Chains A and B, each alone.
Chain A
């Protein structure tokens, strides 16, 4: 069964600090790993996507890494801002499938 596990479930940090969110996946056959940001009451928006052959991808202050051997991904946020407060969802996509596998998300709160 395809699964995506995220940790921590929630995280509180101070503005300006860095943080790292973790994602472990079991998806076969695996093709892509995507991170979404979901603001409260809004739909998720794609932040980064990596194919199985990519190790890292950046989008501004967001940097995602992928280790296809250990089936792990991380999302690193640098110099956090209040607007980073959101849920971050890890998604594993399978080649040829219409249906991605979503993690439950990590809820990040950035305090001033």
Chain B
């Protein structure tokens, strides 16, 4: 069966510090990978998605970046965090199967607080 891991679960960082959040997927090959941010009381905001190694699409201009160094690894980074980067970060994966809807499976999330 497939599983998705995110770490850390919680992170408190000072403004201006760097960020690295990691997401890994097990039990599937060549998944589509996604990074979402959810601010308190708000909906899910798509940040990045990737359809393959080294292929990253950005949906929202910001001081965040994403990388996919391996097929099942997705990393969200920042060189300098802003207060507005605080939120709940969710990684998700999906696989296109012919004739079936593409379900997104979400990880447990990382709660980031920038002070």
Residues of A in contact with B (beta carbons under 8 Å apart): 31-32, 34, 41-46, 49, 51, 89, 93, 98-100, 102-105
Question: B101–A49 contact, CB under 8 A?
Answer: yes
Q: Which 9 A-B pairs rank lowest in CB-CB distance, beginning with the nearest? A: A43-B106, A104-B43, A32-B101, A102-B44, A44-B106, A43-B109, A43-B90, A49-B101, A102-B43
Most buried by A among B101, B107, B108, B109: B101
Report chain B residues within 8 Å CB of A51: 101
Question: A89–B44 contact, CB under 8 A?
Answer: yes
**Distance of A41 Cα from B110 Cα, bound (Å):** 9
**Distance of A49 Cα from B104 Cα, bound (Å):** 12
Give the tally of cross-chain contacts (CB within 8 A).
45
Is B80's CB within 8 Å of the partner chain A? no
Main secondary structure of the interface of B (DSSP, over half): strand
Most buried by B among A32, A51, A102: A102
Is B92's CB within 8 Å of the partner chain A? yes
Query: A32-B101, A49-B101, A93-B101 known; A104 and B108 CB under 8 Å?
Result: no
Question: A100–B43 contact, CB under 8 A?
Answer: no
**Distance of A105 Cα from B94 Cα, bound (Å):** 21
- Give the residue of A32, A41, A44, A99 whose beta carbon is less than 8 angstroms from that of B46: A99
Question: B101–A43 contact, CB under 8 A?
Answer: no
Is B32's CB within 8 Å of the partner chain A? yes
Query: A41-B111, A43-B109 known; A34 and B101 CB under 8 Å?
Result: yes
**Distance of A11 Cα from B7 Cα, bound (Å):** 32
Give the Cβ gap from A22 to chain B, nearest Cβ, in Å: 15
**Distance of A42 Cα from B44 Cα, bound (Å):** 13
Question: A100–B104 contact, CB under 8 A?
Answer: yes
Question: B43–A98 contact, CB under 8 A?
Answer: no
Give the Cβ gap from A43 to chain B, nearest Cβ, in Å: 3
Report chain A residues within 8 Å CB of B43: 89, 102-105
Report chain B residues within 8 Å CB of A41: 88, 109, 111
